[in-house]
Structure 1
Amino acid sequence: MAKAEEYIKKDHQLFEETVVNNEEISPGVFLLSVKRVHDFKPGQVVKLAVDQVQPPRIYSICSGNSDEELRILFNIKDDGYLTPRLAGLIPGDKVLLSAPYGSFVGNKKPAWWIATGTGIAPFYSMFQSGLAGNKMLIHGASYLNQFYFEDELDWAMDKNYQRCCSREQSCDVFPGRVTDYLENRSELPRTAQYYLCGKAIMVVEVRDLLIRKGVPYENIIAEIYF
């Protein structure tokens, strides 16, 4: 399991990069693009800032590792310093970005990718990097318009892509939280790896549920929002 200390204590130099695009893909949710200048492994993160006033925040990369652009998925925090400013950026503006790093890295082994909200970002990076074979992707959200990239994922992964919605219903979406969906499974493959990305409470609840259902602790790899 990735620990917060790994990301907080390391000192990463920030480089000035130019915004290529900044698209609002859902209300209050943006996909920020800069030109990719560093290689990275799908699932890794970068530190991002708009100035030297506030410390940078950490975001998962949301693009394939061979794409010309490096993209960041974020939602606006109304009481935050960074995200309202990020939302206002236009092509040509500057941001401060670190080189990619981190140990939450995808591979070609059988795995379940479990995300909530914008926690889909590292898994979309893995998907775009050609790692979707032998994978099951479970994405949880409160509302139906929060399943980012759903058309592409649904078309490519078919039955291996499961949406779980807790506050709205649709005929092809599981009615409930990710934990409800997993609880309803009669059994889970114990030899697969389980990647979790989302808020701490989700990660802890899903981790405990998986262990209770017989998944070895060492098969669970987590990325927690800070």
Structure 2
Amino acid sequence: MSHIVKVLEARFITHDVKRFVVEKPKGFDFIPGQACDVSINLPLWKEQLRPFTFTSLRDSKFLEFIIKIYSDHPGVTNELGKINAGDELILHDVFGAIKYVEPGIFIAAGTGITPFISIFRELYKNNKLFNNRLIYVNKTSNDIIMGEELHRMLKNNFTSVLTRENTVGFIGKRIDRKFLIENIVDFSRHFYVCGPDNFVKDITHHLLDLGADADTLIFDK
């Protein structure tokens, strides 16, 4: 089943990431961490479905998406970059393998943070975020999504890693096997991993190699 929803708010929150607030259809539900296929309600674009993650609270009266806009080629996200309040999107099927099980270590790269935002907001609202940790990697400090809110919710359990910049308060290096050994004490914990395919593949490989249990690794397969 699909739903046509009106865009209530659309604005850039970084140089290439845009936040969309849209109407929430009656009875519409999702589990924090899940996504749905979205298309633009225009003749040339309504059949062009792309998956985006919900970042709003489950019981919110609206839905929120945080989407990276690729303006270097004429695709769906480039078109979304032109969408404003009053325009319409089409919501399709809800899906996703990422959901919260128990406290653990979240490892995200770039917009891979989006499924974790909804999870963190839900846990924070219910005072259950303690004993969870986030390691979040970006190229530069300008690429960090919702950094202030993540810091406010997670406090000292938020580690920001920048791969192309050395800035006070941030770790300037790549997340590789050596980094994981130096920064994670207990590999028997649950791990939640999200980001580009190669990032997820490399991190999950390293975690398994370092003793993590495949049953405690949660990522979109």
Equivalent residue of 1:100, what SS?
A: strand
Normalised to the residue count of structure 2, the TM-score between the two structures is 0.88
Q: Which amino acid aligns with 1:140?
A: V
- Seen in structure 2, the aligned counterparts of structure 1 residues 188 and 210 have a Cα distance that, compared at 3 Å, is farther
CA positional deviation for 1:23: 1.3
Normalised to the residue count of structure 1, the TM-score between the two structures is 0.86
Give % identity: 23
Is 2:39–2:90's contact at 8 Å kept on the other side of the alignment? yes
Is 2:30–2:58's contact at 8 Å kept on the other side of the alignment? yes
Aligned mate of 2:15, from 2, 23, 27: 27
Aligned mate of 2:49, from 39, 53, 56: 56
| Alignment match, 1:141 | 138
Equivalent residue of 2:207, what SS?
A: helix
CA positional deviation for 1:52: 5.8
CA offsets per residue over residues 141-169 of structure 1, 9 Å max, x none? 00111111111211221111110000011
| Alignment match, 1:42 | 32
CA positional deviation for 1:105: 1.1
Number of residue pairs matched?
A: 210
The 5-angstrom pairing of residues 1-226 of structure 1 reads 13-37=1-25, 38-50=28-40, 51=42, 53=44, 54-77=47-70, 78-107=72-101, 109-130=102-123, 132-179=129-176, 181-185=179-183, 187-223=184-220
Is 1:188–1:213's contact at 8 Å kept on the other side of the alignment? no
CA positional deviation for 1:80: 4.3
CA positional deviation for 1:181: 3.0
CA positional deviation for 1:102: 2.4
Is 1:138–1:178's contact at 8 Å kept on the other side of the alignment? no
Is 2:96–2:220's contact at 8 Å kept on the other side of the alignment? no
RMSD: 1.7
What are structure 1's unaligned runs of at least 5 residues? Answer: 1-12
Is 2:188–2:211's contact at 8 Å kept on the other side of the alignment? no
What are structure 2's unaligned runs of at least 5 residues? Answer: none
